[in-house]
Amino acid sequence: MRHLANTGLALAGLLLSANALACDTILPPTQVGVHLPGKYCLSANRSLPIEIDGADIELDCRSRTLTSAQPGNSETGIRVRGGNKVVVRNCRIEGFAVGIFLEARSGAQLLNNTVLRAQFTPIVARGEYFQGGPIDPQIEPVRIVGNRVIGYGQGGTTNPGAALIVQGLPRAAISNNVVAGFGGPTGLELVESPDAQLTGNQFLDFSRGDRLLRLQNSPRARIVHNTIMSRQPTVFEGLSGATDATCVENVFINTVRSGFADCAVARYNVEQQSQM
């Protein structure tokens, strides 16, 4: 009987897993706009962008690639407006000016996406919070998890900003993202996003760097287990604006100034400063 019960639990788990991966609609290669709630996925690579305008929409690209037909133009690969509880996952986005631009207030997620050779800013996530305003405790935090920004190769970043921009999103969870070979001056720009959690992110091999983690009007951030590593001593400041942040077990290599001294709480951080 115990064996039968365990088998039943296993089958139930498989059914739930299959349901989580289910796709309501295969997005046609010529369709740009998505407006109705549901689960959408791609079955092939495409050269057109995707525009999501609405809430309760999930897009799973299933590792398919959106490639800009005209690299260097001003297009955005995936644009999300009104994106409460919108999920964008498993997308590869190459050659667009902006890879992903998310506008959301609550519960949106960017999961396991790869942005290659963005011409300006690879990932932007923007909310409605302004410095000093009230924070709605019912708002579900936006999650930016497991994404990769890669700047190597021809046609790379030509007019770079920050690799990741997060603005106006209280309690945002930004974790396990990797930025490598990016040509811009900043890895992550966190603006007006109090109580954000920065955990396990890696910023590797920047060709230049003014402030790789730049916090502005974003109090009480938790900065834990992040890594900055440059092959050359090109990073001027690892962390800036962290005057009341908690900074624990981060590793910063080849920074002129790490910025850990500004943290309200700083424990077990490792820094190897450059010899510039």
pLDDT at 112: 98
pLDDT at 6: 58
- Beta-carbon-side half-sphere exposure of residue 247 (alpha carbons within 13 Å): 26
Q: Summarize the confidence of residues 125-148 as an average pLDDT.
A: 86
- pLDDT surpasses 80 at 147: yes
Per-domain residue ranges of the chain: 26-273
pLDDT tens, residue by residue, 192-224: 999 999 999 999 988 777 889 999 999 999 999
- pLDDT surpasses 50 at 274: yes
Q: Residue 5: in which H helix or E strand, if any? A: helix 2-20
- pLDDT surpasses 70 at 20: no
- pLDDT surpasses 60 at 167: yes
133 and 159 Cβ atoms separated by less than 8 Å: no
**CATH fold of the domain at 26-273:** Pectate Lyase C-like (2.160.20)
Instruction: Kindly report the pTM of this predicted structure.
Output: 0.89
Residue pointed to by tokens 């299933």 = 62
pLDDT at 128: 84
Which residues lie below 8 Å from residue 28, measured CB to CB, with a gap of 6+? none
Gyration radius from the chain CA atoms: 20
pLDDT at 256: 87
- pLDDT surpasses 80 at 31: yes
